[in-house]
A and B are shown apart, each in its own frame.
Chain A
Amino acid sequence: GAGVSQSPSNKVTEKGKDVELRCDPISGHTALYWYRQSLGQGLEFLIYFQGNSAPDKSGLPSDRFSAERTGGSVSTLTIQRTQQEDSAVYLCASSRDVGSGANVLTFGAGSRLTVL
């Protein structure tokens, strides 16, 4: 597609429920990142996918968080048993092969999660 598409744009859920956030990257972009942006905070790295390589999960805050990327394209970030502190905007970004430092990240508009 023309840009990075994220859905839903807004999600309100109750504490303890599971949520899934979807990211559709730009066609041909092999690298995909998830970040979390909390109110008044910067961007917190969550997870990174590059082609068929094992993902870099070093930023996932707990085992309630997981992500997958099917067929090297669409990615789903899953948060199980949501907590109020999970409330944030979840940003997805994609890039061409990051082997070249010149490549930049293109961000989606984000999914705003509110846990009541």
Chain B
Amino acid sequence: AQSVAQPEDQVNVAEGNPLTVKCTYSVSGNPYLFWYVQYPNRGLQFLLKYITGDNLVKGSYGFEAEFNKSQTSFHLKKPSALVSDSALYFCAVRDENTGNQFYFGTGTSLTVIP
């Protein structure tokens, strides 16, 4: 069955330090992978996606993510965290075989400490 796991409910990082938000997935076919961010009282905003090609994907606000097929992971990273990065982050996957469904993780709350 298709699924996404975000093993950390909460991640704290000091401002200026690198950050990582973890995501692993399970699909039957090739995955399409996405990261979204949700600020308080807002809808989800698209950050970046992996469809095919280069395993390192760059997105909005300096974020990037690396697709690792052998580890079935798609961790979100940023070299230097900002306080304004504090938000809820969701990983999502689509399966090329089932197409229509987006499967979301349970979200990771990121807090960047000044």
Which A residues form the contact surface with B (CB < 8 A)?
4, 31, 33, 35, 41-43, 45, 48, 50, 56, 91, 93, 98-99, 101-102, 104-110
Closest Cβ of chain A: how far from B110's Cβ, in Å? 15
In the complex the two chains form, what is the Cα distance from A32 to B72 in whole Å? 28
Min CB distance B104 to A, Å, is 4
A15-B91 Cα distance, complex, nearest whole Å: 34
With A101-B32, A102-B51, A104-B34: A41-B43 Cβ-Cβ less than 8 Å: no
Contact residues of B between 37 and 72, Cβ < 8 Å to A: 41-46, 49, 51
Known A101-B99, A105-B34, A105-B44; further 17 A-B contacts with Cβ < 8 A: A31-B100, A33-B102, A42-B90, A42-B104, A42-B106, A42-B107, A45-B101, A45-B102, A50-B100, A91-B43, A101-B96, A102-B51, A104-B46, A106-B46, A107-B36, A109-B43, A110-B43
Measured in the bound complex, the distance between the Cα atoms of B98 and A48 in whole Å is 13
Find A43's partner among B42, B51, B90, B100 (CB 8 Å cutoff).
B90
Of the candidates A41, A56, A109, the one whose C-beta lies within 8 Å of that of B100 is: A56
- List chain B positions with a Cβ less than 8 A from chain A: 32, 34, 36, 41-46, 49, 51, 90, 94, 96, 99-107
Q: Which B residues are in CB contact (< 8 Å) with A56?
A: 100-101
Chain A residues, Cβ within 8 Å of B46: 104-106
Provide 30 A-B residue pairs closer than 8 Å at the C-beta atoms, listed in order of the A residue.
Answer: A42-B90, A42-B104, A42-B107, A43-B44, A43-B90, A43-B104, A43-B107, A45-B101, A48-B100, A56-B100, A91-B44, A98-B94, A98-B100, A101-B32, A101-B51, A102-B49, A104-B34, A104-B49, A105-B34, A105-B36, A105-B46, A105-B102, A106-B46, A107-B36, A107-B43, A107-B44, A107-B45, A109-B43, A110-B42, A110-B43
